[in-house]
Amino acid sequence: MNDFDELKNKWKNDKADLGQTKTADSEKLVAQARATKNKSRNAQLSTIAILSITLMVLVYFFTEVAPFKEVLSRVGVLLMCGGLLIRIIIEIVSLVKASQLSINLKTDELSKRMVAYYHYRSKIHGAFTITIVALYIIGFYMLTPEFMKYLDMKWIWLMDIGFVFIALTVFYVIRKGVLKELAILREFSAVQNDLNN
Amino acid sequence: MSLKNEFESVHRQFQGMVFQLCLGFTKGDSAAAQDLSQEVFVNTWNALSSFEGKSSHKTWIYRITVNTCLMQLRKQKRMPTDRLENVKVNPEADTVADHNYNELYAAIGKLAEVDRLLIMLVLDELSYDEIADIMGINPGNLRVKIHRVKEKLKKIMSNE
């Protein structure tokens, strides 16, 4: 194949020219590596920390500050706290799975793990998270009848309407994340397909 | 040898090779190739402590380079190959690659990402066993794939 031999020669000649190329200094690379190491892991750890603190505050509030007496309210609290707890467990599992995406795996194996990881992420960010958020919202509104006994009606309205905006914001953020991760899933499914066909 | 010395040696030895692969992957855009090579070496440093020596440093660096290039897909959208027909190498991005070589990277750039990486490993004269080891592709399947990619490249070049 003459064309290919010609290409090979050009590639070789260019390699010789590029041999003189000075890329980034190794000292700088090490500094950059140290600065950026665990960046994404830290982001996931922060999410876990924020969710855990929220859960602790909720548990403290509902057990110590304003313990509910009615069954409906208690079920509501259970839905809210239970949903958060499940979400924390999911994030921890996700963190463990992410640590298995090692860059020095064989390309086919890394690509398979990427597909599995993003498949898992799209599942948890998709229907599963929406269910958890929905349960959280339902749980919150289940507290309303008992709140009505102690709070003025205008505060109830303010809380319930305010919660709608919070729910819409959460929905928007989740949707954005899902779309991004679905796009990545499609990319790596295509790579996986290219590697195997 | 300390980790830092080992890294310096690996960096000195393979920076040209890594840069050329990145240049091919980024279709001759040397600024993007510089960024990508930096990312390859950042990943190399981060993975160096887990290097077990089961393969040579060379095979290992090739694998990290190939994987880092593919990981770029998380940041940029994959372009369908047929849309690449009209892509020209960025004229302002050829500070390193000579004009004569732009057509080389343009031709490679018209291939899909995996094909692009495969053909560059062939151009770098790696054996089929080494490529199979890097990519994790069955050697029999690899031969067929490389033959197909060469045919695609031949077609691209004859159309230019």
B74, B77, B118: best to mutate for the A interface, most A CBs within 10 A? B74
Q: Contact, B149 vs B119, CB < 8 A?
A: yes
Q: What single string gives the DSSP state of each residue in B87-135?
A: ----GGG-SSS-HHHHHHHHHHHTS-HHHHHHHHHHHTT--HHHHHHHH
- For residue A12, name the pLDDT band (cuts at 50, 70, 90): confident
Q: What is the pLDDT of residues A72-105, one digit of tens each?
A: 999 999 999 998 898 899 889 988 988 888 888 9
CATH T-level fold of B3-159: Butyryl-CoA Dehydrogenase, subunit A; domain 3 (1.20.140)
Which of B123, B124, B158 is nearest residue A7 as measured by Cβ atoms? B123
- Chain A contact for B87 (CB, 8 A cutoff): no
Q: Highest mean pLDDT range out of A53-57, A180-184, B82-86?
A: A53-57
pLDDT of B101: 64
Cβ separation A106–B11 shorter than 8 A: no
How long a stretch of residues is chain A? 197
Domain ranges, ordered by start, for chain B: 3-159
Residue type, A171: F
Q: Contact, B6 vs B48, CB < 8 A?
A: yes
Cβ separation A33–B46 shorter than 8 A: yes
Higher pLDDT, B33 or A18: B33
Residue A151 DSSP symbol: S
Say whether pLDDT at A49 is over 90. yes
- Chain B contact for A99 (CB, 8 A cutoff): no
| Ordered per-residue pLDDT tens for chain B, 160 residues | 688 888 889 898 898 899 999 989 988 888 899 999 999 999 999 888 888 878 888 899 999 999 999 988 777 655 444 433 433 444 444 444 454 567 778 888 889 999 999 999 999 999 999 999 999 998 888 999 999 999 988 888 777 6
